[in-house]
């Protein structure tokens, strides 16, 4: 029954949480095979309870036997501790708040070796030593420490992500791997997955939230650009981790057409549902769970995730850091209501994204611009967008939409493009718009579409610093994809013979920016090296604030912007578009 250290960890920590612990400390030696210790500040056990806990069929919480969901890995309730002590040496120290002294139980292979009073804090400290000491065949079945530790951490993540109110520490071979204070769900996700290279992981996640009489779905999904080869993907139901391939498809469908090749979105999705409508028995060991209403929940989940992504794409109100530029007001709440998909109502056959008639506010008064804005969800429909950040069809759609907009375009303050919108005016930041356009273009080039190069009449010599040289060598192929032509000369010198077509500033300054963007990882919103390169070059090549634009230039910029799936924000998450409504305008006159 006990398969590996990770299953022991799961049982022990779940017991701690069941016992009301607010602090859980985990100590591992040799990936749990020599020692797996869990210390909690829960309610502890009396002497009798402690003895009973290790006897088969001794327990347990039959008081809430209705909560069948608690039947999990070990198959039966109250089987975990007996199964563990059957294959290991266990030391238990435990005390309840009303007892002066606690109990120390020493056991090995189901035999009690000693029992005595002991001084110890309230709570439970259980050490599982020498796992499988009496079953060599099973001991040999264990994998390398690396693999077993990975399994342990996987289990640990599944537990801590759904118990943010409990603080955890995890130490492995004397090294403190995790120290997780009590937190909100989002903070917990951040604490678990932010690393030196990827700080503020959770800050970039989008909120998912849907409440229906059948099920509540809440959680976080990632921006399409944040998707990675190995993604963190979690479903939880009623406070427990589950696998659910069918619901996984719903999430993936929501991202269809928006992900670069080969990457997967991160998601953390928590379901709350009446326990009697789920069946945990289909797979006692595999954490798979059957929902009675899977068919109904599927479109709800799909719509909720789409809504999260769509809101991000269509709306500039995002809690990213603002850069130092003067901010134009972002859209009001009502505007947001108008541009995003309608709320999901509880109707199993209702899918807001495949039902144009159901789209909110498609009133006669809607201007071309509004339609253009709403068209976002159309372009994100799976059948419309085949792949990647940007597709031919998307370009066409953008061109078409922008051409339909008969709107006059004005440049104001030499940095914003102004046009009419249904309920006021729309402002587009010209530089950020261009950065977004170029970023998408460079990301395409980096995934192997050839770039346009502009030959330099007078090649420039570039001396790369010694410490940067290995990095530079590794970046050569990507720099070529971006449109740089570089001939290596001796001793870290390169001759720059060609540059990306749209680059007007000094190529060497642009190259140096790329090198430092890659090595310093300054922007937390950008995950991969490719993203950092693309963003850096886009920043170098994009038109500047202050640059005058002709009407034609503005129109082309707007067309290209609206062909970008993520046109409302620049690659770092700053707003590109803002809506100022009539109320805000009239307030200026009050």
Site for ligand ADP, rule CB under 6 A: 11, 15-16, 18-19, 40, 42-45, 49, 53, 59-61, 77-81, 124
Residue 317 DSSP code: -
Q: Which strand ranges, in their side-by-side order, compose the sheet holding 416-421?
A: 410-412, 416-421, 424-429, 577-581
78 binds, among Mg ion, ligand ADP, none (CB under 5 to 8 A by kind): ligand ADP
53 binds, among Mg ion, ligand ADP, none (CB under 5 to 8 A by kind): ligand ADP
Straight-line distance from the first to the last Cα atom of the chain, in angstroms, rounded to the nearest whole number: 74
* Binding residues for Mg ion restricted to 446-485, rule: CB under 5 A: none
414 binds, among Mg ion, ligand ADP, none (CB under 5 to 8 A by kind): none
Distances (CA, A) of 152 to 149, 173, 447: 5, 13, 35
CB 277 within 8 A of CB 293: yes
Q: Least Å distance between CB 158 and Mg ion?
A: 15
Helix axes 430-446, 529-541, angle to 10 degrees: 140
Q: Which residue's CB is nearer to ligand ADP, number 78 or number 459?
A: 78
Q: Least Å distance between CB 77 and ligand ADP?
A: 4
**Whether the bond into 60 is cis, omega within 30 of 0:** yes
42 binds, among ligand ADP, Mg ion, none (CB under 5 to 8 A by kind): ligand ADP
Q: Least Å distance between CB 63 and ligand ADP?
A: 10
Binding Mg ion by CB under 5 A: which of 2, 7, 15, 223? 15
Q: What is the dihedral of CA 180, 183, 188, 191, to 10 degrees?
A: -50
Q: Which residue's CB is nearer to Mg ion, number 15 or number 167?
A: 15
Q: Least Å distance between CB 160 and ligand ADP?
A: 16
Q: Least Å distance between CB 7 and ligand ADP?
A: 12
**Rounded Cα distance, 138 and 278, in Å:** 34
**Rounded Cα distance, 109 and 54, in Å:** 11
81 binds, among ligand ADP, Mg ion, none (CB under 5 to 8 A by kind): ligand ADP
Q: Least Å distance between CB 241 and ligand ADP?
A: 16
Q: Least Å distance between CB 94 and ligand ADP?
A: 7
Q: Which residue's CB is nearer to ligand ADP, number 10 or number 311?
A: 10
Rg of the chain over CA atoms, in angstroms? 29
CB burial readout 127-154, b (16+ within 10 A) else e: bbbbbbeeeeeeeeebeebeebbebbbe
524 binds, among Mg ion, ligand ADP, none (CB under 5 to 8 A by kind): none
Number of residues that bind Mg ion (CB under 5 A): 2
* Binding residues for Mg ion restricted to 126-155, rule: CB under 5 A: none
Q: Least Å distance between CB 382 and ligand ADP?
A: 43
527 binds, among Mg ion, ligand ADP, none (CB under 5 to 8 A by kind): none
Q: Which residue's CB is nearer to ligand ADP, number 16 or number 539?
A: 16
171 burial type by CB count under 10 A (0-12 exposed, 13-18 middle, 19+ buried): middle
Q: Which residue's CB is nearer to ligand ADP, number 79 or number 335?
A: 79
Q: Least Å distance between CB 527 and ligand ADP?
A: 38
3-state helix, strand and coil shares in percent for the chain, rounded to the nearest 5 = 40, 25, 40
Q: Which residue's CB is nearer to ligand ADP, number 53 or number 344?
A: 53
Q: Which residue's CB is nearer to Mg ion, number 15 or number 332?
A: 15
Helix (H, G, I), strand (E, B) or coil at 185: helix
Q: Which residue's CB is nearer to ligand ADP, number 45 or number 537?
A: 45
The DSSP string of 492-513 is TEEEEEEEETT--S-HHHHHHH
Long-range CB pairs of 372-377 (<8 Å, 24+ gap) are 372/401, 372/402, 372/404, 372/405, 372/562, 373/314, 373/339, 373/421, 374/339, 375/401, 375/562, 376/310, 376/313, 376/314, 376/339, 376/565, 376/567, 377/306, 377/310, 377/314, 377/341, 377/353
Q: Which residue's CB is nearer to ligand ADP, number 50 or number 535?
A: 50
40 binds, among Mg ion, ligand ADP, none (CB under 5 to 8 A by kind): ligand ADP
Q: Which residue's CB is nearer to ligand ADP, number 1 or number 183?
A: 1
Q: Least Å distance between CB 5 and Mg ion?
A: 16
Q: Which residue's CB is nearer to ligand ADP, number 19 or number 336?
A: 19
User: Considering the rule CB under 5 A, would residue 80 count as an interface residue with Mg ion?
Assistant: yes
**Rounded Cα distance, 293 and 577, in Å:** 40
143 binds, among ligand ADP, Mg ion, none (CB under 5 to 8 A by kind): none
**Rounded Cα distance, 323 and 344, in Å:** 34
Q: Least Å distance between CB 88 and Mg ion?
A: 16
Cα of 196 vs its chain's centroid, Å:
16
Report the interface residues with Mg ion, using CB under 5 A.
Answer: 15, 80
């Amino acid at each position: 029954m006990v398969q590996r250290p990770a299953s022991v960890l799961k049982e022990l920590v779940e017991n701690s949480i069941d016992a009301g612990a607010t602090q859980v400390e985990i100590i591992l030696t040799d990936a749990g095979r020599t020692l797996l210790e869990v210390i909690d500040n829960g309610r502890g056990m009396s002497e009798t309870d402690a003895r009973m806990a290790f006897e088969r069929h001794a327990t347990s919480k039959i008081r809430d036997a209705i909560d069948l969901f608690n039947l999990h890995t070990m198959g039966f309730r109250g089987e975990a501790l007996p199964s563990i002590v059957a294959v290991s040496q266990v030391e238990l120290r435990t005390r309840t708040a009303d007892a002066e002294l606690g109990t120390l139980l020493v056991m090995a292979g189901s035999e009690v070796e000693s029992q005595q009073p002991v001084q110890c804090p309230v709570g439970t400290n259980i050490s599982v030593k020498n796992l499988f000491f009496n079953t060599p065949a099973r001991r040999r079945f264990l994998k390398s420490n690396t693999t077993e530790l990975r399994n342990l951490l996987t289990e640990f993540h599944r537990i801590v992500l759904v118990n943010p109110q409990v603080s955890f520490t995890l130490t492995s071979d004397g090294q403190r791997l995790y120290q997780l204070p009590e937190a909100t769900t989002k903070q917990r996700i951040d604490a678990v997955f932010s690393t030196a290279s990827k700080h503020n992981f959770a800050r970039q996640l989008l909120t998912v939230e849907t409440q229906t009489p059948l099920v509540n779905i809440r959680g976080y999904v990632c921006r399409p650009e944040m998707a990675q080869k190995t993604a963190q993907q979690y479903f939880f139901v009623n406070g427990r981790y589950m696998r659910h391939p069918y619901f996984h498809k719903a999430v993936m469908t929501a991202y269809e057409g928006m992900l670069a090749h080969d990457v997967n979105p991160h998601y953390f999705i928590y379901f709350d549902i009446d326990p009697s409508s789920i069946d945990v028995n289909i797979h006692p060991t595999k954490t798979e769970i059957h929902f009675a209403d899977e068919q109904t929940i599927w479109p709800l989940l799909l719509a909720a995730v789409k809504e999260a992504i769509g809101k991000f794409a269509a709306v500039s109100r995002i809690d990213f850091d603002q850069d130092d530029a003067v901010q134009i007001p972002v859209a009001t709440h009502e505007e947001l209501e108008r541009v995003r998909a309608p709320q999901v109502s509880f109707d199993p056959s209702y899918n807001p994204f495949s039902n144009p008639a159901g789209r909110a506010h498609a009133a006669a008064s809607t201007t071309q611009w509004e339609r253009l804005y709403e068209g976002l969800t159309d372009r994100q429909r799976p059948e419309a967008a085949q792949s990647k950040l940007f597709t031919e069809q998307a370009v066409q759609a953008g061109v078409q939409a922008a051409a339909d907009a008969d709107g006059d375009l004005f440049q104001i303050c030499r940095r914003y493009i102004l046009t009419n919108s249904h309920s006021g005016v729309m402002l587009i930041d010209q530089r950020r718009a261009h950065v977004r356009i170029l970023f998408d273009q460079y990301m395409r080039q980096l995934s192997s579409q050839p770039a346009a190069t502009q030959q330099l009449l007078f090649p420039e010599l570039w001396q790369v610093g010694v410490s940067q040289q290995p990095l530079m060598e590794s970046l050569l192929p990507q720099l070529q994809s971006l449109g740089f032509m570089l001939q290596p000369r001796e001793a870290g010198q390169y001759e720059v013979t060609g540059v990306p077509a749209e680059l007007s500033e000094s190529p060497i300054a642009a190259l140096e920016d790329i090198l430092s963007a890659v090595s310093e990882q300054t922007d937390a919103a950008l995950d991969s090296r490719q993203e950092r390169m693309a963003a850096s070059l886009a920043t170098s090549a994009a038109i500047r604030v202050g640059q005058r634009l002709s009407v034609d230039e503005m129109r082309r910029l707007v067309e290209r912007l609206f062909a970008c799936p993520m046109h409302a924000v620049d690659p770092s998450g700053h707003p590109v578009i803002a809506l100022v409504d009539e109320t805000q305008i009239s307030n200026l006159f009050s």
